[in-house]
């Protein structure tokens, strides 16, 4: 694998930084992860740290040097991190289980696989345009899909930070998975918290990340997001990777995609009983 990667997290105007992010890689596999502890609940930073640590530890133990089933890995890790947050809360005697959003991506054999819960986002940029983007698990996103509000109204909506899926808390997370997405030379994967995509918007993120290498684009984008958001801003975290090798393998067939989805469903169902 050949890639360039850069990550940065800032507290912004908040008192504490409840975002966490990380990347890890072996010779054959790569993990990217961003979590945004939910500030409306106590100890959001704890939930975010537990979630990121859980995925990183699992990757380091199982990517030797590659993962057997990336989708299964993501499903098990999301559910495992959710349970781990509950155990840590009980061990510390917390009155309520803290909560966090989570977005994670595995790249292996020239294919990207990702999953998310909440409103931390993944963008796949190709030739300077957004090729794929996660859909927030939020009421505002539902209103957008239904055509009841437009993008400008969404950015100002009073419930823009309310999500209906997360890790932690008493409800099992609703985890959304991508399909297998082949990676091409110069594709960009960007994972970020809402403190970044909220002020900047999709088009600005895509433009900046396409125009410069991650090590230059990420700090400049965080500067810009902080400036736009001002005193009403949030914590900011952005992890960007530029893929630097040609496509490995062919696009999966419909039959392969259906098999992968069936495997994921088999993993998720037991955890929701």
Residue 39: the pLDDT is: 77
| CB neighbours of residue 76 within 10 Å | 16
Domain enclosing residue 212, as ranges: 3-271
Which helix (H) or strand (E) covers residue 168, if one does?
strand 167-168
Looking at residue 193, which CATH number applies to its domain?
3.60.40.10
Q: For the packed helices 214-229 and 202-211, what is the interaxial angle rounded to 10 degrees?
A: 150
Total tally of structural domains belonging to the chain: 1
**What is the separation of C-alpha 98 from the centre of its chain, rounded to a whole number of angstroms?**
18
User: Taking Cα atoms as reference points, which of 189, 185, 177 lies closest to residue 32?
Assistant: 189
The three-class DSSP label of residue 175 is coil
pTM summary value: 0.86
Backbone CA torsion sign across 11, 14, 17, 21: negative
Q: How far is CA 39 from CA 155, 174, 200, in A?
A: 18, 20, 21
pLDDT 10s per residue in the chain (273 long)?
A: 999 999 999 999 999 999 999 999 999 999 999 999 997 678 999 999 999 999 999 999 999 999 999 999 999 999 999 999 999 999 999 999 999 999 999 999 999 999 999 999 999 999 999 999 999 987 666 655 655 566 665 566 555 667 889 999 889 999 999 999 999 999 999 999 999 999 999 999 999 999 999 999 999 999 999 999 999 999 999 999 999 986 644 444 445 455 555 655 555 454 443
Which helix (H) or strand (E) covers residue 35, if one does?
strand 29-37
User: Taking Cα atoms as reference points, which of 35, 31, 32, 29 lies closest to residue 9?
Assistant: 35
């Amino acid at each position: 694998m050949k890639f360039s990667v850069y990550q940065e997290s800032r507290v912004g105007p908040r008192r504490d930084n409840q975002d966490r992010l990380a990347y890890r890689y072996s010779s054959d596999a790569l993990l990217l992860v961003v979590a945004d502890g939910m500030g409306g609940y106590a100890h959001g930073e704890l939930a975010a740290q537990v979630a990121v640590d859980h995925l990183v530890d699992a990757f380091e133990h199982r990517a030797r040097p590659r993962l057997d089933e990336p989708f299964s890995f993501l499903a098990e890790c999301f559910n495992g991190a959710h349970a781990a947050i509950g155990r840590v809360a009980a061990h510390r005697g917390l009155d309520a289980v803290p909560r966090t959003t989570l977005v994670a991506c595995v790249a292996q054999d020239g294919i990207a696989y990702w999953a998310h819960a909440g409103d931390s986002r993944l963008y796949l940029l190709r030739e300077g345009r957004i090729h794929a983007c996660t859909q927030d698990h939020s009421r505002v996103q539902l209103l957008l899909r239904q055509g009841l509000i437009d993008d400008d109204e969404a950015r100002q909506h009073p419930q823009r930070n309310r999500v209906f899926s997360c890790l932690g808390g008493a409800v099992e997370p609703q985890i959304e998975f991508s399909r297998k997405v082949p990676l091409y030379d110069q594709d960009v994967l960007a994972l970020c918290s809402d403190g970044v995509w909220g002020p900047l918007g999709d088009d600005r993120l895509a433009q900046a990340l396409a125009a410069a290498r991650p090590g230059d684009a990420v700090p400049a984008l965080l500067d810009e997001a902080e400036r736009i958001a001002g005193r009403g801003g949030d914590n900011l975290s952005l992890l960007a990777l530029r893929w630097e090798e040609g496509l490995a393998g062919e696009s999966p067939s419909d039959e392969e995609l259906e098999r992968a989805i069936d495997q994921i469903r088999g993993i998720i169902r037991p955890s929701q009983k």
